[in-house]
Amino acid sequence: MTHPPDDALLTAIAGRFGTPAYVYDLDRMARRLVAVQGALPGAAVLYAVKANPNGAVLRRLASLGAGAEVITVGELERAARAGVPPERILVGGPAQDAALIGRAADLGAGLVSLDSPGQWRGWAASGAAARFLVRVNPGLDPGTHEHLATGAPGSKFGLPAEAALALGREVAAAGKLAGFHVHAGSMIRDLTVYDAVLDVLEPLYAALPGLPLLDLGGGFAVPDFPLAAFAARARAIAERLGTALLVEPGRFLVADAGVLLTRVLHVKDSGPRSHVIADAGMAELIRPALYDAHHPLRVVGGDAAGSAPAGRQAGDGAGPALVDVDGPLCENADRLARDRHLAGVRPGTLLAVAEAGAYGFAMASNYASSLRPAEVVIEAGRPRLARRRERVDDLWRLEEDGPDGS
């Protein structure tokens, strides 16, 4: 994170709650939300719950007026439990099965983003009072990782413009169409992507004039997204189309407000590559293995930048200066970082993996019967436990058979 909690506080948190542990600065998340709201006055800011569904995070963002974008029954229930008003909940995603449709209709969720004609059939039969957006696949290259390129031609998301218009006409005939939705991709930095998005959207809004809403999704890059420049473009697009605006930031609100704390278990300074083995890895933070994601990593109490310069350096007896930081599991992909400067690392050294507030714990698993870590939140400089560390008996708590197989 750009302005992390000080090292004394992180050290105290690790000592009190153990490692691995996720730590979230709720005040920083709140400031980021307020910045988005200020840059886009009048726009609906719907937090993408999948980024970080922790209840403390959701309650803080909801208290500041954020809505929620949800894709599962679980996310829907979390948003409602956190106090998000139903009219500020948008249901999206490629599934939208009968259970989600039924529960969203019962709660009175205000908006739905339709990803396919089949979804519309289910909603039409439900009698839900929601208004609908049709998700458009703009068929463009957003210049990001292929797994994050949700607006690419081969993506599973949304409909090509012609099919989106056909579905839009059907929904409009039922008096339920509010507009169109585009999510070009995640970790977007190049704002010219939105010029191409406008080229796709403009004929749709011209064909169905008077639609009140435009949803430009999220996907804002962390940590250096040009928010002010994006806001100017988004306002201009909405003005040109004559709509109000919705955005769905997730990672942008929470990523750099979170760190993953992990302790070094062993240092192997031998062979062609030096390895620091930590107590956190892909079970806690899968993004480096899944997306080859780069997370800044540093020694707590040290001055290591965790950058990745060319070449390698020899160890110094207290741990290598240029290392891979690996997890504890028997998987070669179980790495947090490659080729980082971490001088003086020893067993017991505390490390902080930054930009971990999004898609960290949310994607954590019990692979190899790992225990998912604690989540700690900080408000006004004071830490508190938001989710306890899993215990061994949590691993079989939901299993139906007893220890004797009965």
The CATH number assigned to the domain holding 356 equals 2.40.37.10
pLDDT in tens, 347-403: 999 999 999 999 999 999 999 999 999 999 999 999 999 999 999 999 999 998 766
The answer to whether position 1 is within a domain reads: no
Domain assignment of residue 16, yes or no: no
180 and 68 fall within a common domain: yes
In a domain, 397, yes or no: no
Taking the C-alpha atoms of residue 165 and residue 134, their distance in angstroms, rounded to an integer, is: 8
Say yes or no: 208 and 281 in one domain.
Answer: no
Q: Which parts of 272-341 are beta strand (E)?
A: 275-278, 297-299, 322-326, 335-341
**Could you read off the pLDDT of 83-126 as tens digits, one per residue?**
999 999 999 999 999 999 999 999 999 999 999 999 999 999 99
Instruction: Return the active site residues.
Output: 330
Closest CA to 258 of 357, 162, 382, 110: 357
Q: What is the pTM of this model?
A: 0.90
Q: Which of 296, 322, 298, 325 is nearest to 310 (CA)?
A: 322
Residue 15 domain-assigned?
Answer: no
Q: Which of 223, 252, 281 marks a domain boundary? A: 252
Q: Determine the structural domain holding residue 352 and report its residue range.
A: 255-390
Report helix, strand or coil for 127.
coil
Q: d(Cα 113, Cα 71) in Å, to the nearest integer?
A: 10
**Are 237 and 290 in a shared domain?**
no
Of 28, 33, 25, 27, the C-alpha closest to 66 is 33
Same domain, 280 and 151: no
Which of the listed residues 252, 284, 316 is the one where a domain comes to its end?
Answer: 252
Are residues 327 and 208 located together in one domain of the fold?
no
- Supply the pLDDT for residue 5: 78
Encoding tokens for residue 298?
A: 């540093």
Same domain, 246 and 261: no
- Distance (Å, whole) CA 20 – CA 260: 7
Residues 95 and 222 in one domain: yes
Both 246 and 97 in a single domain? yes
18 assigned to some structural domain: no
Residues 270 and 204 in one domain: no
Pair 179, 239 in one domain: yes
CATH for 191: 3.20.20.10
Domain count, the chain: 2
| Cα separation of the two ends of the chain | 49
Q: Is residue 395 part of a domain?
A: no
Determine the residue type at 380.
Answer: A
Does one domain contain both 272 and 315? Answer: yes
Q: Judge if 259 and 162 occupy the same domain.
A: no
Each residue's pLDDT tens digit, 165-196 = 999 999 999 999 999 999 887 788 888 888 88
Residue 400 lies inside a defined structural domain of this protein? no
Report how far residue 34's alpha carbon sits from residue 18's, in angstroms, rounded to the nearest whole number: 32
Per-residue CA distances from 305 to 4, 192, 218, 343, 354 (Å): 14, 32, 29, 10, 11
Among 209, 225, 252, residue at a domain's last position: 252
Q: Is 6 inside a domain boundary?
A: no
What integer pLDDT is reported at residue 308 of this predicted model?
A: 40
CA atoms within 13 A on the CB side of 303: 0
User: What Å distances lie between residue 73 and 76, 300, 310, 349, CA to CA?
Assistant: 5, 38, 47, 40
